[in-house]
Amino acid sequence: MHTVFREDEVFRIDHYLGKETVQNILVMRFSNGIFEPIWNRQYVDHVQITVAETIGVGERAGYYEQVGAMRDIVQNHLLQLLALVSMEPPAAFDDKAVRDEKVKVMRVLRRIAGDDLPMNAVRGQYTRGFIEGVPVPGYREETGVAPDSRTETYVALKLWVDNWRWEGTPFYLRTGKRLPKHSTEIAIQFRAAPHQLFSREALAGFEPNALVLRIQPDEGISLRFGAKVPVQGIRIRAVNMDFDYGASFMVDAPDAYETLILDALRGDATLFTRHDEVDQQWAFVDPIIKGWAEAPGGPAPYAAGTWGPAEADELIERDGRKWRKA
Amino acid sequence: MAQGVVVDTTFWGVRAEGVAALERELARLRRMESAHARELVRPIARASVLNLIVFADREEHARRAARSISDLALRHPSRAIVVLVDRGSREGVEKQIEMHCQLPIPDGARQVCYEQILVRARGDVDDRLASAVIPLLVPDLPVFLWWTGTPPLGSRSFGDLLRLTDRLIVDSADFARPEITLPVIARISEEARGRFGLTDLNWTRLTPWREIATAFFDVPSWRLFLDGITGLRVGFAVDMDGRDIHPSQALLLVGWLASRLGWRPLEALAPSEAGGLLFAIARPDGARIMVRVRPRFERGLDEGDIRGIRIQSTDERHQAEFVVVRQPTPRHQTATVFLDGERRWERTMPLPSPAIVELIGEELSILGSDRTYEAALGALVELA
């Protein structure tokens, strides 16, 4: 491509970057004074990023068989979300500064390969099940899919961003097809209060604070915190403070592609992926794909309509944490 | 084209084709309310502090539950998902699940609305029901599962829903065969340990009875009689022809006393005349206590409600009887203590008889499990 176009003439679309709520990650982090000071290892226990689809492979089987969830979603969308959430504040809101910071994060993503693979990466493939009460076929029963296909339709990863800000704070990423719910979200799970004044009984059912950026559907931001239940004595319950895009702005957000095409026409490349960013994404993803190809066995089966294979639960539960009910 | 189940859309709201369409409809309704509220300069809040799944297999139960939720909306605004499944699995009935939703604003509320969703299913949908409910839950909020009727242990949809639940609410007053069902609930409660809380509305109804029974023995000179109990009688209400016999509440009271006082089973619960139960139980010192649970018709009482308690006891010198009797109008209870047949103390107290909506309202503010209840159930299972 570079034999014909200069890099600044190339606009690589990752349509996730055109979504209002994705752009809002930057606005939320860098236009507000209250979030950035706690956006680090000291206050954040871990981060969960979920891209869940209810749809199956549908008519894209021919394409999907070749790529799988790793290349289809993780390499681009999930790593983009990870970059936006974990990057350092850019010096300016322009294409160079923003993308420089994103590349820096990609560079320090700890590579997963060799013996680390099984402990940090899980792949799955859906089998027959139910979505919204309707029976759906398993992946290997879909038209155009090999009956012994080893293509993954689900990926869960545990990642480390090896820098000053995130040392010791894991990022858990998961994506899959035929999951129970269509939902994309980023959850920042904060640490528990350092010293707990209240009894275990009072705290039954309470979990530490979480800030959830909902990207779709129902775009918005929720902050979960504990509140006293209005009865005698102390009982603490998690409540959500909700910001709902639709109800606050009363306008429909433009389609992601509309936003991006307009930006491209204007020559603003901030929301497009630069070549070195893509290189880094592949540098992270390739060893995992290679490891899986060489490993015996295939993806772990999970029934359509469930939240992925049991191995994915183990991946996070090993650390004493659990996947959110997204 | 499948023929739709008949659903009263004025009550349950419009039908939506799938979860995405339903969320869009709710968002549209919210936006409409929000725009309207802005004109009146009082913004409306999307208030949701919990997910409440109600399972019903009768339309009237589903409606009653929906009305309770509406009455509770100011105290516990929720996303309420009412699941209504036709009873039993009938051969030849096409499996079908449809969804309806609306955004009711409860009476007297100005700034709060809650979300009501109906999941209407027919045919044998046990294998797929949960897959229609899970995507409707609001993330991060606790999930309450209110199961009307007897929970079907071993059913897949019950198991699937239970896995998402923070607190299961049942009402053992609705159990047709408590001697079978209460042990089932006890098994659920064992499985629940550490995973979800369990509560029984019938247990909440017992609270005033437990309070008064405890109060007797707060008096130091009567405290000793607690270790010398020889007999216990519990009366509960039945309808006029004695057909509907629901001794769950009375049994829970026996289970509670047994668990608190360390009573051990001597013989299995045996039915006595007219649907009652008569059996012996052992005190920690091995002495026998005769327990009689007796149904009685009484106007104005709900089936299964306790009518009265009589505790007989001796210490080395005296015979004592501690009696609580429910008085019908107005609702109150009289507590009396007899020493050697002589009335020594009597007091009359109001006896609250909370409606379902109040009981549910109370339960929704608790998330943990109730150890005393679990112990009472455990003791009952040993007896059964």
Contact status, residue A253 vs residue A216, Cβ threshold 8 Å = no
- The DSSP string of B152-190 is -TT-HHHHHHHTT-SEEEE-GGG-S-HHHHHHHHHHHHH
Helix segments in B105-170, DSSP class H? 129-133, 156-162
Confidence of residue A220 (pLDDT cuts 50, 70, 90): confident
CA distance to A204, A228, B358, per residue, from B371 (Å): 13, 22, 22
Is A36 in the B-facing interface, judged by CB distances under 8 Å? no
Chain B contacts in chain A segment 95-154 (CB below 8 A): 129-135
Q: In this complex, do B139 and A54 lie within 8 Å of one another by their Cβ atoms?
A: no
Tell me if A324 and B35 make a contact (CB, 8 A cut-off): no
How does the average pLDDT of chain B come out, rounded?
Answer: 83
Position A205 pLDDT exceeds 70: no
To the nearest 10 degrees (0 to 180), the angle between helices A275-294 and A95-107 is 20
Q: Measured between CB atoms, does B367 come within 8 Å of chain A? A: yes
Q: How many CA atoms lie within 13 A of A23 on its CB side?
A: 17
Beta bridge partners of B56: B84
Q: Does position B2 have pLDDT exceeding 50, yes or no? A: no
- Predicted confidence band of residue B92 (pLDDT cuts 50, 70, 90): low
Q: In what order do the strands lie in the sheet with B115-122?
A: B14-16, B96-102, B115-122, B78-85, B50-56, B143-147, B167-170, B197-200
Residue indicated by tokens 């209810």: A54
B359, B138, B196: which is closest to A214 by C-alpha? B138
**Is it the case that residue B95 has pLDDT exceeding 80?**
no
Residue B1: the pLDDT is 38
CA-CA distance, B20 to B23, in Å (whole number)? 5
Nearest by CB to A222, from B35, B128, B140: name it. Answer: B140
Cα–Cα distance, A16 to B334 (Å, whole number) = 70
Choose the closest CB to A250 out of B23, B35, B139: B35
Please provide the CATH number assigned to the domain covering A7-194+274-311: 3.30.360.10
Chain A residues near residue B48 by CB distance under 8 angstroms: 240, 242
Which two tokens mark A277? Answer: 């960013």
What part of A 178-237 touches B (C-beta under 8 Å)? 180-183, 185, 201, 204-206, 210, 212, 217-218, 222, 224, 229-231, 235, 237
Q: Which residues of B touch A188 (CB under 8 A)?
A: none
What per-residue string of b and e applies to A260-275 under the rule 16 or more CB within 10 Å gives b? beebeeeeebbbbbbe
Q: What chain B residue is nearest to A325 in terms of C-alpha separation?
A: B139
Q: How sure is the predictor about B89, in pLDDT bands with cuts at 50, 70 and 90?
A: low
Long-range contacts for B157-161 (Cβ within 8 Å, ≥24 apart)? B157/B125, B157/B126, B157/B127, B157/B129, B157/B130, B158/B55, B160/B129, B160/B130, B160/B134, B161/B53, B161/B55, B161/B129, B161/B130, B161/B133
Dihedral angle sign, alpha carbons of residues B200, B205, B207, B213: negative
Beta-carbon count within 10 A of B328 CB:
11
User: Using an 8 Å Cβ cutoff, are B74 and B109 in contact?
Assistant: yes
Kindly list the residues from chain B whose CB atom is less than 8 angstroms away from the CB atom of residue A251.
Answer: none
Tens-digit pLDDT profile for residues A252-267: 677 778 888 888 888 8
Note whether B132 contacts A133, CB cutoff 8 Å.
yes
Give yes or no for B142 touching A (CB within 8 A): yes
CB–CB contact B197 A222 (8 Å): no
Task: Enumerate long-range contacts of B273-277, CB under 8 Å, 24 or more apart.
Answer: B274/B242, B275/B238, B275/B242, B275/B245, B275/B247, B276/B247, B277/B247, B277/B251
**Does A235 sit within 8 Å of B365, measured CB to CB?**
yes
How far, in Å, CA of A314 to CA of A320, rounded? 10
| Cβ-defined contact of A218 to B35 (cutoff 8 Å) | no
CB atoms B139 and A212 under 8 Å: yes
Beta bridge partners of B122: B96
Q: Which element (helix H / strand E) includes A29?
A: helix A20-31
With CA atoms as reference, report the closest residue to B378 among B201, B171, B188.
B188
In A, which residues are within 8 Å of B118 by CB distance? Answer: none
Count CB atoms within 10 A of the CB of residue A26.
Answer: 18
Chain centre to alpha carbon of residue B359:
8
Specify the residue for token string 């394409």. Answer: A63
Distance of alpha carbon B384 from alpha carbon B379, whole angstroms: 9
Which residue from A181, A187, A185, A180 is spatially nearest to A302, judged by alpha carbons? Answer: A180
Label the pairing between strands B78-85 and B115-122.
Answer: parallel
Q: Where is pLDDT greater, at A249 or A278?
A: A278
CA separation, residue A260 to residues A78, A185, A214, A237, A269 (Å): 18, 21, 20, 42, 9
H/E stretch holding B19: helix B18-39
Query: Hey, is the C-beta of A15 within 8 angstroms of any chain B C-beta?
Result: no
Given CB atoms, is B14 within the 8 Å cutoff of chain A? Answer: no
Q: Which residues pair with B98 in a beta bridge?
A: B120
Q: Which two tokens stand for residue A163?
A: 């820098």
User: Which residue, B24, B100, B15, is CA-closest to B63?
Assistant: B100
Q: Which residue of A has its CA nearest to B167?
A: A205
Residue identified by tokens 């009589």 is: B310
Q: Number of Cβ pairs closer than 8 Å across A and B?
A: 105
Rounded to an integer, what is the distance from CA B309 to the centroid of its chain? Answer: 21
Classified as helix, coil or strand, B89 is: coil
Is B48 in contact with A240 (CB distance < 8 Å)?
yes
What's the CA gap between B66 and B103, in Å, rounded? Answer: 12
pLDDT score of B64 more than 90: no
Q: Are B283 and B313 in contact (CB under 8 A)?
A: no
Q: Which residue of B has its CA nearest to A307?
A: B134
Residue A123: per-residue pLDDT: 96
Task: Write the CB contacts of A270 (distance below 8 Å, at least 6 apart in sequence).
Answer: A93, A94, A95, A98, A99, A263
Q: How far apart are CA B15 and CA B363, in angstroms?
A: 31
Query: With an 8 Å Cβ cutoff, are B368 and A129 in contact?
Result: no
Residue contact B128–A134, C-beta within 8 A = yes
- d(Cα B333, Cα A296) in Å, to the nearest integer? 73
What span, in angstroms and rounded, lies between the C-alpha atoms of B323 and B319? Answer: 13
- B111 band by pLDDT with thresholds 50, 70 and 90: low
How distant is the Cα of B206 from the closest Cα of chain A, in angstroms? 20
Lowest mean pLDDT of A136-140, A150-154, B79-83, B324-328, name the range.
Answer: B324-328
Q: Does B48 touch chain A (CB under 8 A)?
A: yes
Q: How confident is the model at residue B226 (pLDDT cuts 50, 70, 90)?
A: very high
- pLDDT, mean of residues A143-154: 94
Residue B219 has pLDDT above 50, yes or no: yes
Instruction: Judge whether residue A161 has pLDDT over 50.
Output: yes
- Taking CB atoms and an 8 Å limit, are A240 and B19 in contact across chains? no
Residue B307 to residues B169, B250, B304: CA-CA distances in angstroms? 24, 9, 9
Beta bridge partners of B337: B322, B345
Chain A environment of B34 (Cβ under 8 Å): 247, 250
The amino acid that residue A96 corresponds to is K
- Which residues on chain A are in Cβ contact (under 8 Å) with B137? 325
| A183: chain B residues, CB-CB within 8 Å | 139
Known catalytic membership, residue A2: no
Mean pLDDT of chain A: 89
Q: What ipTM was reported for this prediction?
A: 0.81
Interface check for B166 against chain A (CB to CB < 8 A): the answer is: yes
Does B128 or A247 have the greater pLDDT score? B128
- Domains in chain B, ordered, with CATH? 9-165 (no CATH), 204-362+369-383 (3.30.360)
Residue A205 has its nearest CB partner, among B134, B135, B368, at B368
Active-site pick, A46, A77, A182, A275 = A77
**Confidence label for B182 from pLDDT (cuts 50, 70 and 90):** confident
Chain A contact for B121 (CB, 8 A cutoff): yes
Please indicate if any CB of chain B lies within 8 Å of the CB of A53: no
Q: How many angstroms separate the CA atoms of B45 and A247, rounded? A: 9
pLDDT score recorded for residue B183: 83
For residue B330, whether the previous peptide bond is cis, meaning omega lies within 30 degrees of 0, is: yes
Q: Answer yes or no: pTM beyond 0.80.
A: yes
Q: Facing residues of A170 across strands? A: A160
Q: Does B22 touch chain A (CB under 8 A)?
A: no
Question: Is-contact B223 B310, C-beta < 8 A?
Answer: no
